[in-house]
Amino acid sequence: MSKPIVILGVFVADTSYRADRAPRMGETIMGNSFALGPGGKGSNQAVAAARVGGDVHFITRLGRDPFADMALATWAGAGVQPAISQHDDSYTGAAYIFVEEASGDNAIIVCPGVAGTISPADIEARAGLIGTAGVFLTQLEQPLDAAMRGLELARAGGAVTILNPAPAADLPQGMLGLCDYATPNESEAEGLTGVVVKTVDDATRAAVALRAAGVGTAIITLGENGALFHDGDEPVHVPAFKAGPVVETTGAGDAFNGGFATALARGDAPLEAVRFGCATAAISVTRPGTAPSMPSLQEVQTLLRG
C-alpha cells in the first residue's frame, strides 16, 4: 500500500520559447515556437508522482487569476490533491524558459509570485497533513524557512524526507541534517560542496561531502549519465535509460524526483527507486513541456522491463 506523499513547492506557468540561440542583451531575434503550460518544480514533481501512481498532496500558494485556474486544472487531471491557499493581493507565478532548438538545452527565469511568500505559518497550518506523510519532498523555489519547517515537521512525524536543492542556494544551518535524501544535479552539487561535477567519480566525491554535511543518502542526478547513489556503503552509478530522441530536458529533474518519491512511498528499495526515477525522467525528455511531459505508470513499467 503506497503511503501519502506530501510535496511543498511552487506552481508557475511556463512560457516556453524555442529558438536557434539565445538573444544577446539589447538584441531581438525571431523564435521558432512558443508554448504556455503548467510548471514550477514542486508542481511538476507532484504531477510526475501522481501520474506514476502516488497518493500526492501539494502545498503552495496561488493568486486568483488564469494561471491559478491552469494550476487547479493540471492537478485535477493528474490526480494531485491541492493543499493550497489563494490570494487576491499577488499573482500566480510564471517562468521564462528559453530552449535551444538543436540541443533541447534550456535557460530559465522563475518569478514565483505569491508562492514566494509561503511562510513557516503556512507550513504549521498543514502540520497535520505533513505529520501523516510517508514521504515529504521539497525544493528551494519557495522561501527557505518554509522548506526548513516542512522538513522539521516531516522528520518529527516519521516521514522519509527528500530535499531537491534546486535552484541552488545557501542552505540554513542544519537543513541537510533533516534530509534522508538529497537529490542535486551536477551544478547544485557543486554549489553545496565545492566539488566540480563533470564525471561519475566527481559525483562520488560530491556525494561523500553531502553525507559528511548530514545527508542520509546523496543522489547526484547526472542527466544523460543517469545518477550516482551513495548511502554510506559503496557508491552505485545507475545508468540512464534510453526512451527515444531527446526533445526537451526542462522537466527531467522533476520527473526523477516525482518518480523516486513514489517508488519510495510504495516501499521499493532505495536503489530500485532511483532506477524508477531515472526511467521516469528518460521518458519525460522525449516530449516537450514540463508537467505535460510526465509519463504514466504503465509507460515507466514498460521501459523498466526493457
Q: Is 1's pLDDT higher than 80? A: no
Packing angle, helices 41-51 and 252-265, rounded to 10: 50
Q: Judge whether 254 counts as a catalytic residue.
A: yes
Q: Residues 270-281: what's their mean pLDDT?
A: 98
Q: Residues 94-111: what's their mean pLDDT?
A: 89
- % of the chain residues with pLDDT over 90: 91
Residue reference for cell 529558438: 19
Q: Cα separation of 183 and 217, whole Å?
A: 9
| pLDDT tens by residue, 250-261 | 899 999 999 999
Beta strands (DSSP E) in the chain are: 5-8, 12-19, 33-39, 56-62, 81-86, 92-100, 106-113, 135-138, 160-163, 181-182, 217-221, 227-230, 236-238
* Residue in 47, 55, 58 with CA at minimum distance from that of residue 4: 55
All 3 cell numbers of residue 36? 504556455
Read off the pTM. 0.93
Q: How far is CA 161 from the centre of its chain?
A: 13
Q: Residues 175-183: what's their mean pLDDT?
A: 98
* Residue in 100, 120, 116 with CA at minimum distance from that of residue 249: 100
User: What is the residue-averaged pLDDT of the chain?
Assistant: 95
Residue from 20, 233, 254, 268 carrying the catalytic annotation: 254
Which three-class secondary structure state does DSSP give residue 158? coil
Q: Dihedrals φ, ψ of 230, to 5°?
A: -145, 115
User: Would you identify the CATH topology of the domain 5-10+40-91+114-305?
Assistant: UDP-N-acetylmuramoyl-L-alanine:D-glutamate ligase (3.40.1190)
